[in-house]
Amino acid sequence: IKNAKTSEADLETVGETAERLGLQLDYDFNGEAYQTVSGQNSNNSVRIPNEFFSRVDEDGTWETINRTNGEVAKTYPARKLWEQINYAAWRCADPGVQFDTTINEWHTSPAGGRINASNPCSEYMFLDNTACNLASFNLLKFYNSESGEFDLEGYEHGIKLWTMVLEISVLMAAFPSKEIARLSYEYRTLGLGYANIGAMLMQAGIAYDSEEGRAICGALTAILTGRSYATSAQMAAEHGPFPGYHPNKDHMLRVIRNHRRAAYGVSRDTDIARDHELGDYEGLQTKPVPVDSYYLNEASDEYRSLSNASDILRSARASWDDALKLGQEHGYRNAQTTVIAPTGT
């Protein structure tokens, strides 16, 4: 590899070994050796319903189906297949796993059809033949390393502004087919997201893979989606909800209520959740991991690198209060508003 930082001794050792074996090393990414690596320039995902995991637990079998005629193609031991998927993902980061049942339980527009697939990078999950335009915030820009504060006011303002920008872009976009254009106008899905949260946590001195880090990520994501849906409802008050809203009204409001419960930290334990003022989650086989208020409120004194963590929690909850209240009154201009795209690529 031409630009790799390797010691001269290492290079000499590799070169001597290759010479002894009569090999000619190819360091070029455009060369023959690189082309022999399977799966380059592709994204591979497998879509798995909850029933598959029941078969894994039972040590049962799983049938794959031909897409052409719907007949059984092969029958596999479910556990062995699951082990192969996990090994492959560990070995080369593919395939990604899409949890089909969970995806459709959070579907805001099931009256229009089920969600069958995603875009190649898997952030956009919606109806066939729809599309959305993407925009992402650089979260590091909202963090002040001197004060240790996250700029909540600027973040929420940016969310409202860019939700409107992306809504405008629906009418300005050039779609690849008539059907994609028609359904994109009918459901008006948006793709607002963020990037650089890992760098923000690093600068704040908070471990990415920690309870604190996960709580902050969850709360900032809750603000993003909640405030964006609230803005969508405000636009619906002026311009009407998306054309496909009314057949999906009950489904969408159920999804919004479940998001709000997660922002308020409603437990995944049904017995505990029943006693919560917001009640248990609706229509979910697999319940979400809620925002953990302990690490954003009671425990905020334990780490001073994010000094307004409790304000972030309050903002997350207020965002979903507004999203539900305004949506009940006006509906929503957009069937979806946010995605987290892999912006590093």
The predicted pLDDT at position 239 comes to 98
Q: Which of 43, 104, 121, 297 is catalytic?
A: 121
The predicted pLDDT at position 91 comes to 87
Average the pLDDT over 160-173 and give the result: 95
pLDDT tens digits for 241-276? Answer: 999 999 999 999 999 999 999 999 999 888 888 888
The predicted pLDDT at position 284 comes to 96
Average the pLDDT over 65-81 and give the result: 95
pLDDT tens digits for 38-47? Answer: 666 778 899 9
Asked about 116 being catalytic, the answer comes back as: no
Dist. CA 269–CA 210, nearest whole Å: 22
Phi, psi of 48 (to 5 degrees): -125, 125
Q: Which of 119, 129, 144, 297 is catalytic?
A: 119
Q: How confident is the model at residue 306 (pLDDT cuts 50, 70, 90)?
A: confident
Asked about 123 being catalytic, the answer comes back as: yes
Q: Which of 50, 104, 116, 123 is catalytic?
A: 123
Q: How confident is the model at residue 1 (pLDDT cuts 50, 70, 90)?
A: very low
Q: How many alpha carbons lie under 13 Å from residue 79 in its C-beta half-sphere? A: 5
End-to-end CA distance of the chain: 20
pLDDT tens digits for 175-226? Answer: 999 999 999 999 999 999 999 999 999 999 999 999 999 999 999 999 999 9
Share of the chain above pLDDT 90, in %: 72
Asked about 119 being catalytic, the answer comes back as: yes
The predicted pLDDT at position 84 comes to 95
| Token pair belonging to 40 | 């380059």
Average the pLDDT over 158-169 and give the result: 98
pLDDT tens digits for 271-280? Answer: 888 888 899 9
